[in-house]
């Protein structure tokens, strides 16, 4: 067998294993299913290239490639589809692009099965490569387009996501797919007659390793693999075997023939060394694995219970902060930690406890209102929306649960709170009195419960998402209504999320100006301002936010 085919055979096997592993972990998840298909396409492409190294002549090489090239031809569509799901960008427009990519891939595959993609294979170094044809070049451009477009979506999502786990998942997928495609294109140099060593077989294996690492460390595909014990004891077994081999090697190197033939002495010496070093080595290995993969399983209830018991007995701030820091570092394996406390008199955050930071006098470091870090705290405390899908889901659930009960005049959704300008429908009140419909407050409760459960499941979090009950305030004047509409729309700018609230995506401002179908009472709002021109003009006025705050509350 041609030794240069081994990387491609290995790539075939590991990608098949990865495909089956991810698929069987959650057969109902679209992300898992599409990735499994993508990995299968890579496996088949690797198997296609493996054959080109072992085929004895050009005719058999072409027959082999025509049979297994479907992995290369369908891979771009599968990869593009996977990256859109991973980046949570499945819009109606992107759905059409997904169908188009699969349509092109299937067309190329059919042409490939009939042997129309390539006409002739030539020997280049240690493998066979196809002579370029128009269809072959188009298929290469097809790969470049769909994969590049998918990578662009990964980058876009990476920039806006705030989840540490998701960011790292996206990072490793981006690196793996980029390497895989970039080095895959070096194979086209063979078709042009350039005799270069195709390293992409090794890159395919590295790609699999990157995905495996993202699964183990960052729980890609929501896969949680308990790997610590297996790794630790496999390493211990390797060390024991190494110690035994070392003792035998030393005995031979120094001419200790007696030891060579007396296995009792060798085994006894090995047993003593292993017994003395077993626990320290095991703890050392566990510590390394924990830091690499964060896979120590801990009982959150037990930790919180012990934490609360300790807090109740601590009355001095210093030991209290030390205990908080110890609990966090021992549980999450963080290397650096600082605890900031707010001084209510001057409203400044100061660092009261710090570990492993190079600060000469940490208590002199402070953050005032308006500083980046304090603004970040304000924006991100008690978040209820974590990504774009949450906003969409919230609006869909709102319409599903409340459209029979209320009329909606304006809304604005911010990461940690929202505003609704609504009126209960007279029909709903009459049906409620007749006991044919539940109270609007009960409908709101069901709506909040539904959204909370779904979001908690998506974010792997527990507890109440809405920490405070929703507040209501009655609108009693025309001035109140118009200023409140402005206040709701201006909220994103008021809280520093955007520089111009008109550009904010999750408010009703642009929906009111739009002609697209909506459940918003846009006509009633426009009539309240007389017309669209006055509505726009009113929102352009430099109205004091302090004045507007008098009309509502967060």
Nearest to 419 by CA among 366, 470, 460: 470
Query: Taking CA 27 as the corner, what is the angle to CA 21 and CA 31, rounded to the nearest 5 degrees?
Result: 85
Measure the CA–CA gap between 316 and 294, rounded to whole angstroms.
32
Q: What is the CA radius of gyration of the chain?
A: 32
3-state secondary structure of 119: coil
Which of helix, strand or coil describes residue 125?
coil
Beta strand pairing status for 406-414 and 366-367? unpaired
Q: Give me the CATH topology for the region 388-549.
A: Alpha-Beta Plaits (3.30.70)
CB-based contacts of 133: which residues, under 8 Å, 6+ apart?
117, 118, 119
Handedness of CA 331, 32, 95, 392 (dihedral sign): negative
3-state secondary structure of 129: strand
Tell whether domain 3-222 is in CATH 1.10.4190.10. no
Structure tokens belonging to residue 339? 């605890």
DSSP 221: G
pLDDT of residue 260: 47
* Number of Cβ within a 10 Å radius of residue 227: 16
Q: Would you put residue 255 in left (φ > 0), alpha (ψ -120 to 50) or beta?
A: left
What is the per-residue pLDDT for 234?
56
For residue 58, with 0-12 CB atoms within 10 Å meaning exposed, 13-18 middle and 19 or more buried, which class applies? middle
The candidate with the shortest Cα–Cα distance to 423, out of 481, 462, 379, is 481
Closest to 132 in 3D by CA, of 123, 121, 142:
121
Q: How many CA within 13 A on the CB side of residue 121?
A: 24
Question: Tokens in use for 110?
Answer: 């059919």
What local confidence, expressed as pLDDT, does residue 261 receive? Answer: 47
Q: Are strands 417-424 and 406-414 parallel, antiparallel or unpaired?
A: antiparallel
Q: What is the pLDDT of residue 43?
A: 93
Beta strands in 196-274 (DSSP E): none
**Domain-by-domain residue ranges, the chain?**
3-222, 228-293, 298-334, 338-376, 388-549
d(CA 379, CA 394): 19
Could you give the 3-state DSSP secondary structure of residue 313?
helix
Residue 174's pLDDT is: 92
- Return the residue matching tokens 């900031």: 340
Q: Is 407 helix (H, G, I), strand (E, B) or coil?
A: strand
Q: Residue 267 and residue 229: Cα distance in Å, rounded?
A: 26
Of the candidates 69, 73, 53, 76, which has an alpha carbon nearest to the alpha carbon of residue 201?
53
CA distances (Å), origin 288, targets 42, 226, 283, 284, 332: 32, 15, 9, 6, 14
Closest CA to 389 of 310, 300, 454: 454
CA–CA distance, 335 with 92 (Å, rounded to integer): 44
The first and second tokens of residue 549, run together, are 């705050």
DSSP bridge pairs for 501: none
Q: Enumerate residues 6+ apart whose C-beta is below 8 A from 97.
A: 80, 149
The Cα–Cα gap between 125 and 127 comes to 6
| C-alpha to C-alpha distance for 211 and 218, rounded to whole angstroms | 10
What letters, b where the CB count within 10 A reaches 16 and e where it falls short, cover 31-57?
A: bbbbbbbbbbbbbbbbbbbbbbbbbee
Q: Locate tokens 């697209």: which residue?
A: 516
DSSP letter at 435 equals T
- Looking at residue 237, its pLDDT comes to 61
Report the distance separating Cα 456 and Cα 448, nearest Å.
Answer: 12
Instruction: Give me the average pLDDT of each 10-residue run along the chain (554 residues).
Output: 80 90 84 92 92 91 90 93 87 91 94 88 87 90 93 89 77 89 83 76 84 74 53 58 61 53 57 67 65 55 73 75 82 76 73 73 64 62 83 91 90 91 82 71 87 83 69 80 88 82 91 89 91 89 55 48
DSSP secondary structure of 447-502? HHHHHHHHHHHHHT--S-S--S--------SHHHHHHHHHHHHHHHHHTTS-S-GG
Q: What is the 3-state secondary structure of 321-349?
A: HHHHHHHHHHHHCCCCEEEEEEECCCCEE
pTM: 0.50
Identify the three-state secondary structure at position 355: strand
Reading the block at residue 194, the tokens are: 């350039």
Q: Give me 348's structure tokens.
A: 């400044």
């Amino acid at each position: 067998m041609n030794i240069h085919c081994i990387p491609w055979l290995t790539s075939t096997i590991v990608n098949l294993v990865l495909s089956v592993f991810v698929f069987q972990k959650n057969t109902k998840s679209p992300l898992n299913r599409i990735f499994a298909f993508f990995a299968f396409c890579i496996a088949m492409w690797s198997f296609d290239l493996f054959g080109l190294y072992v085929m004895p002549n050009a005719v058999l090489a072409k027959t082999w490639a025509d049979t297994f090239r479907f992995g290369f031809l369908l891979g771009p569509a599968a990869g593009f589809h996977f990256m859109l799901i991973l980046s949570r960008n499945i819009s109606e427009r992107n759905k059409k692009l997904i169908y188009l990519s699969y349509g092109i891939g299937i067309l190329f595959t059919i042409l490939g099965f009939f042997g129309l993609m390539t006409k002739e294979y030539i020997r280049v170094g240690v493998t066979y490569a196809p002579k370029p044809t128009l269809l072959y070049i188009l298929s290469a451009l097809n790969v470049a387009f769909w994969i590049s477009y998918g990578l662009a979506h990964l980058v876009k999502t990476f920039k806006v996501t705030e989840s540490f786990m998701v960011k790292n998942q996206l990072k490793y997928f981006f690196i793996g797919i980029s390497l895989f495609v970039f080095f895959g294109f070096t194979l086209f140099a063979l078709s042009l007659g350039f005799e270069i060593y195709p390293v992409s077989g090794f890159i395919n294996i590295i790609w699999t390793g990157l995905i495996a690492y993202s699964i183990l460390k960052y729980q890609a595909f929501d896969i949680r693999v308990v790997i610590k014990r297996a790794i630790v004891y496999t390493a211990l077994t390797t060390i024991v075997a190494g110690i035994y081999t070392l003792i035998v090697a030393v005995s031979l190197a120094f001419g200790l023939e007696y030891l060579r033939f007396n296995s009792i002495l060798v085994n006894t010496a090995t047993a003593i060394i292993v017994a003395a070093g077993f626990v320290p080595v095991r703890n050392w290995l566990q510590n390394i694995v924990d830091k690499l993969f964060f896979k120590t399983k801990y009982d959150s209830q037990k930790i919180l219970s012990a934490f609360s018991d300790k807090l109740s007995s601590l009355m001095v701030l210093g030991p209290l902060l030390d205990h908080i820091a110890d609990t966090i570092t021992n549980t999450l394996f963080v290397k650096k930690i600082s605890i900031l406390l707010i001084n209510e008199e001057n409203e400044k955050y100061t660092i009261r406890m710090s570990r492993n930071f190079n600060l000469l006098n940490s208590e002199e470091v402070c953050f005032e209102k308006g500083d980046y870090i304090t603004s970040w705290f304000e924006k991100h405390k008690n978040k209820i929306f974590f990504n774009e899908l949450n906003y969409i889901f919230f609006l869909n659930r709102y319409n599903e649960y409340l459209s029979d009960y209320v009329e909606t005049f304006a809304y604005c959704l911010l990461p940690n709170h929202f505003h609704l300008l609504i009126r209960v429908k007279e029909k709903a009140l009459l049906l409620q009195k007749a006991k044919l419909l539940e109270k609007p407050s009960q409908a709101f409760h069901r709506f909040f419960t539904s959204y909370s459960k779904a979001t908690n499941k998506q974010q792997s979090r527990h507890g109440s998402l809405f920490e405070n009950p929703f507040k209501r305030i009655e609108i009693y004047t025309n001035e109140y209504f118009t200023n409140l509409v402005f206040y709701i729309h201006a909220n994103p700018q008021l809280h520093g999320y955007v520089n111009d609230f008109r550009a904010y995506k999750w408010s009703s401002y642009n929906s009111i100006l739009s002609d697209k179908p909506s459940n918003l009472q846009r006509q009633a709002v426009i009539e309240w301002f007389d017309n669209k021109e006055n509505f726009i003009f009113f929102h352009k006025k430099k109205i004091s936010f302090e004045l507007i705050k008098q009309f509502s509350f967060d």
